[in-house]
Amino acid sequence: MSTSSPELFVELDRSRPRGLRAQLERSLRDAIRAGRLRPGVRLPSSRALAADLQITRGVVIAAYHQLTAEGYLTSRQGWGTVVNTITVPEGSQRRRPPPAGIRYDFQPGAPDVGLFPHAAWARATRAAMRSLPGRSLGYGDPAGLTELRETLADYLGRVRGVSCEPDDVVVCNGFSHGLSLLAQVLAERGIAVEDPGHPDWREQITWAGASCHPIEVDDEGLRVDRLAASGAGAVLTTPAHQYPTGVALSPGRRTDLLDWARTSGAYVIEDDYDAEYRYDRQPIGALQGVAPDHVVYAGSLSKSLAPGLRLGWLVVPPALREEVVATRARGDRFTSSIIQATVAEFVQRGDLDRHLRRTRRGYRQRRDALIAALRRHLPACRATGISAGLHVLVTLPGGMDATRLAATAARHGILIQPLDRYRACPAAPGRSPALVMGYSRLTPHHIEEGIHHLATILNSDGVTTL
Ligand SMILES: Cc1ncc(COP(=O)(O)O)c(C=O)c1O
């Protein structure tokens, strides 16, 4: 016969009543040493644990005292009994330390989550909890919370020129989730993608059962003239800042793309992933504002705030809306109402605008630092693309092997990505070698240091002299 506690994973074998205290001590000691009970975790009160385990309170108090004396637990005034930070002998730790030796992370993709505005977010959460009506804590609308859809419709109209009503907005768990919904809805049509482009999106499209048609990108962006021959009935594109080459879709191609969509009845999926970060001028308005019936606009908080929020949105043309919402409802139903209400508050209070103003300045400095460091230490390399976003494309002298170079750099603690990782057909000959370098998570000082280090390694390793 055994007893257990729902608040704490310990089980006592009650067929051995004399050993209850020792069992409890051993169970807690093992859990702390194995890392299952982490430093700072508060244990249940002696009264609550005794009731759960059906033992006398004195047994729990005695076990807590013993483990406190051994240094595993500590008592904090007004807080109760807490797990202490202990040094566990080597070999007994379950959790692995973070990968050792990574000194400069130039991988693209994520923002600097160290800049996340914790205090403003906490204020928005408190305000959201005060005003969130009880009914919003039940099963909600799969398209999203009304307050957030209204807020997003205003925000996107104001900052990106998106033309929509709250009813056109579908809240989702980030862009990747939005794309998976669209890929299911548009599966019959086939979806064209930019090549190079994000490899995960190609995978998602095929996973949803749609055919995926890679279309070349050049220095004016997507080769729109190749769309008709592809047979695709939709295209996923990043017109404001092509991912990952960093070019903007030229004005002529913007017009041609919308003409193709109108004449063939196709849809454009506009991934506007980092349009908030343009450093040299106002960003170009969203394509959606020009052709709302043919463009599905998609955005996310992953670059502007944090990928961990898992919050994004689609602005969906009327003809697709019902199917997109039904697909959402069949899947995970809807996004957490508390997160949605908090985001609505955060945007309405002007906190997103403030955060973007602040981070825009910081990321611009980091971009400038990267470009200056490349010029200084690797003058044969060239940073290309518009002054925007959180990454740059760096072209290398012809004949270099960017994949080998990235592997050499990684052995020295420098993470960079070869452009080939983003290509649908990396082996095609005649392409210039290039790297995709993110600068968002390093300070200007570390960027300068990292590039200097990279140049030293490359020159001394015999990879090449740059
Ligand atoms: C091209 C592109 N689009 C969109 C996103 C955002 O994706 P999600 O919102 O799913 O985090 C990313 C993030 O890395 C991206 O690289």
Same domain for 330 and 205: yes
Span from the CA of 273 to the centroid of ligand 1 (angstroms): 6
The pTM for the full model equals 0.83
Residue 96 in domain: no
The distance of Cα 235 from the centroid of its chain, to the nearest Å, equals: 22
Residue 42 in domain: yes
Torsion sign (Cα): 444, 448, 453, 454: positive
Query: Tokens 């998106």 label which residue?
Result: 162
Q: Residue 60 belongs to a domain with what CATH number?
A: 1.10.10.10
Span from the CA of 41 to the centroid of ligand 1 (angstroms): 34
Q: What pLDDT is attached to residue 88?
A: 52
Q: What is the pLDDT of residues 214-263, one digit of tens each?
A: 999 999 999 999 999 999 999 999 999 999 999 999 999 999 999 999 99
Kindly report the length of the chain.
466
Residue 97 in domain: no
Q: What is the pLDDT of residues 280-326, one digit of tens each?
A: 988 889 999 999 999 999 999 999 999 999 999 999 999 999 999 99
Nearest to 345, CA basis, from 113, 135, 136, 115: 136
Residue 188 in domain: yes
- Contact between residue 7 and residue 52 where contact means Cβ atoms under 8 Å apart: yes
List pocket residues of ligand 1, CB cut-off 6 Å: 109, 174-176, 198, 238, 243, 271, 273, 300, 302, 307, 312
- Contact between residue 37 and residue 28 where contact means Cβ atoms under 8 Å apart: yes
Same domain for 219 and 367: no
Residue 88 in domain: no
Number of alpha helices (DSSP H) and beta strands (DSSP E) in the chain: 14, 18
Q: For atom 4 of ligand 1, which residue has the closest CA?
A: 273
Among the three residues 62, 83, 104, which one is the final residue of a domain in this structure? 83
| Interatomic CA distance for residues 145 and 339, integer angstroms | 10
Same domain for 310 and 387: no
Q: Residue 277 belongs to a domain with what CATH number?
A: 3.40.640.10
Instruction: State which amino acid sits at residue 440.
Output: S
Nearest to 50, CA basis, from 83, 85, 18, 24: 24
Span from the CA of 255 to the centroid of ligand 1 (angstroms): 25
Residue 301 in domain: yes
Instruction: State which amino acid sits at residue 143.
Output: A
Among the three residues 301, 325, 353, which one is the final residue of a domain in this structure? 353
- The range of the structural domain enclosing residue 244 comes to 116-353
User: Side-chain half-sphere of 233: how many Cα atoms within 13 Å?
Assistant: 11
Q: Angle formed by the axes of helices 444-461 and 351-377, to 10°?
A: 30
The distance of Cα 263 from the centroid of its chain, to the nearest Å, equals: 35
Query: Tokens 């370098």 label which residue?
Result: 437
Same domain for 120 and 61: no
Among the three residues 32, 65, 83, which one is the final residue of a domain in this structure? 83
Same domain for 329 and 392: no
Q: What pLDDT is attached to residue 91?
A: 39
Same domain for 342 and 423: no
Q: What pLDDT is attached to residue 99?
A: 56
Query: Tokens 């595993």 label which residue?
Result: 72
Q: For atom 14 of ligand 1, which residue has the closest CA?
A: 109
- Contact between residue 266 and residue 237 where contact means Cβ atoms under 8 Å apart: no
Span from the CA of 200 to the centroid of ligand 1 (angstroms): 9
Same domain for 189 and 43: no
390 by DSSP, 3-state: which?
Answer: coil
H-state helical runs in 70-134: 118-131
| Interatomic CA distance for residues 271 and 252, integer angstroms | 19
Q: For atom 7 of ligand 1, which residue has the closest CA?
A: 175
| Interatomic CA distance for residues 390 and 276, integer angstroms | 11
Same domain for 120 and 249: yes
Same domain for 362 and 343: no
Structural domain count, the chain? 3
Residue 190 in domain: yes
Q: Residue 396 belongs to a domain with what CATH number?
A: 3.90.1150.10
Q: What pLDDT is attached to residue 93?
A: 38
- Contact between residue 210 and residue 222 where contact means Cβ atoms under 8 Å apart: no
Residue 90 in domain: no
Same domain for 188 and 316: yes
Same domain for 312 and 233: yes
Q: What pLDDT is attached to residue 89?
A: 45
Burial of residue 209 (number of CB atoms within 10 Å: 0-12, 13-18, 19+)? exposed
Same domain for 288 and 145: yes
32's enclosing H/E stretch is: helix 20-33
Please list, in sequence order, all residues whose beta carbon lies within 8 angstroms of the beta carbon of residue 38, skipping any fewer than 6 positions away: 83
Ranges under pLDDT 70 in the chain: 1, 17-18, 87-100, 427-429, 461-466
Q: DSSP class of residue 174?
A: S
| Interatomic CA distance for residues 242 and 183, integer angstroms | 20
Q: Is 35 left (phi over 0), alpha (psi -120 to 50) or beta?
A: left
